[in-house]
Amino acid sequence: MNTLVRENRDSELRQNEHFVVPVASIIEDGDGYMLQVEMPGVNKGGLEISVENNELTIIGRRSLPAVEGTLIHRESRRENYRRAFELDPSIDADKINAKIDQGVVTLTLPKAERVKPRKINVS
Amino acid sequence: MSLIRYQIPESTAWPSFDRWINLREDLNTLFELPSWSNFGRQGQLFSRWSPALDLYQNDDNVIAVVELPGMRKEDIEISLHEGTLTIAGERKTESSNGEKAERSERYIGKFRRSTTLPARVDPNKVSATYRDGILTVTLPKAEEAKPKQIQVNAD
């Protein structure tokens, strides 16, 4: 049950568009997982989250602030973000919830009722 | 679980041969370091966060654009000292008890990022906005740093 949301790298090779892999963190609690992905420059409109064949894909398209001026130094990347994860079978894919706040996507991935830890009452 | 932040791969393509040569050189340098004990103590080598910073300028302003995802705007400090812009702050965890990190690549903690500005700016007129995890700092140039049109007077 520990296998969680496993990263899926293979699917990245199939794409023609170049993406950068965003930084992510996965936190587990009793009821499920919380996945946080850093996508600075992305807002709600640029976010595309899909689940297909147990694979969760998060694509973030940047809407960069328009800056009037000449670029003199750059460290940021222009490419959009993409990262895919393989979902643990315990996750109820229908109940995945997502929000984005200040460039961080937070997904809550609840476990299906049947796999949640539960107390058995002794009668 | 310790916080591990690794280099985001530049591309998924197989690395070219000269990267392997560099890797070997890097490894050699690594083994020549005086002491391994410094790594553990400082803990900085792999976990420091250096936010990406872009710098623009036009006739009137110098503009710094910094990627700072997931901050609270109160936790961002912007300061200016002798032509150096410093952006510092702290990113805090939101996790509560009973949660465990399975995998943690996001940097939590304090950071500091400085850059030398290409022109003199007026420290009293600096403004900043924070949106979609991107901090944009607009630094108006000091009058003497602005380009000037020289009038040619005809006799």
Give the per-residue pLDDT at A118.
75
pLDDT at B41 over 50: no
For residues B138 and A92, the answer to whether their CB atoms sit within 8 Å is no
Provide, as residue numbers in chain A, all residues whose Cβ is less than 8 Å from the Cβ of B5. 23
pTM for this entry = 0.73
Q: Average pLDDT for residues B10-31, to the nearest whole number?
A: 55
pLDDT bin (cut points 50, 70, 90) of residue B150 is confident
A30-40 confidence digits (pLDDT tens): 788 999 999 99
- The verdict on a CB contact (< 8 Å) between A72 and B68 is no
Q: Is residue B137 part of a domain?
A: yes
Statement: residue B91 has pLDDT above 90: no
ipTM above 0.95, yes or no: no
Contact A35, B103 (CB under 8 A): no
A75, B56: Cβ pair inside 8 Å? no
Q: Please tell me the predicted confidence (pLDDT) of residue A2.
A: 39
- Which CATH number is B76's domain given? 2.60.40.790
Enumerate residues 6+ apart whose C-beta is below 8 A from A27. Answer: A33, A34, A35, A36, B95, B99, B100, B101, B102, B104
- B63: helix, coil or strand? strand
A3/B contact by beta carbon, under 8 A: no
Q: What is the CATH number of domain A6-65+72-113?
A: 2.60.40.790
Dihedral sign from CA coordinates of A86, A92, A93, A95: negative
Helix extents (H) in chain B: 17-32, 37-42
In tens, the pLDDT along A90-119 reads 899 899 999 999 999 999 999 888 776 778
Q: Which domain holds residue B78?
A: 48-145
- Whether A27 has its CB under 8 Å from any CB of chain B: the answer is yes
Question: How many domains is chain B partitioned into structurally?
Answer: 1
- B12 within some domain: no
Whether residues B102 and A26 touch (CB distance < 8 A) is answered with yes
Q: What is the pLDDT of residues B125-141, one digit of tens each?
A: 999 999 999 999 999 99
Smallest CA–CA distance, residue A16 to chain B, in Å, is 12
Contacts of B95 (CB under 8 A, 6+ apart): A27, B101
Residue B80 placed within a domain? yes
| Residue B27 domain-assigned (yes or no) | no
CA-CA distance, B102 to A105, in Å (whole number)?
Answer: 17
The pLDDT value recorded for residue B1 is: 36
Residue with tokens 């602030």, as numbered in its chain: A65
- B114 part of a folded domain: yes
- From residue B139, give the alpha-carbon distance in Å to each of B21, B34, B83, B103, B149: 43, 43, 11, 39, 21
